[in-house]
């Protein structure tokens, strides 16, 4: 009866380890999916910010060119 108890304990330990590995695998997949969705949202936000910065740079270039054009003119005589 001692041998069957040892075999049972060994199988129980193997199954417990197997279920832990399965649970860990599922947890890793869940974290990976969350990171993928976070990456997609972050890249969208970064793209939006890049477009806003480009528009602001264009506006500043326009303002600079407008003010520099006034300074280059000769004052009225």
Any idea where the domains of the chain sit in the sequence? 24-71
Structure token digits, residue 39: 């990456």
**DSSP designation for 55:** H
pLDDT at 77 over 70: no
Residue 1: pLDDT over 60: no
Angle at 1 between CA 9 and CA 5, to 5 degrees: 5
Instruction: Give me 9's structure tokens.
Output: 């304990």
Per-residue pLDDT tens for 12-53? 888 888 888 888 999 999 998 888 888 888 888 888 999 999
pLDDT at 53: 93
Largest CA distance in the chain: 118
């Amino acid at each position: 009866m001692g041998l069957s108890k040892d075999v049972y304990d060994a199988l129980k330990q193997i199954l417990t380890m197997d279920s832990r590995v399965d649970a860990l695998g599922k947890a890793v997949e869940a974290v990976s999916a969350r990171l993928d969705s976070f990456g997609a949202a972050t890249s969208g936000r970064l793209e939006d910010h890049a477009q806003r910065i480009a528009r602001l740079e264009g506006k500043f270039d326009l303002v600079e060119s407008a003010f520099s054009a006034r300074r280059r003119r000769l004052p009225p005589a």
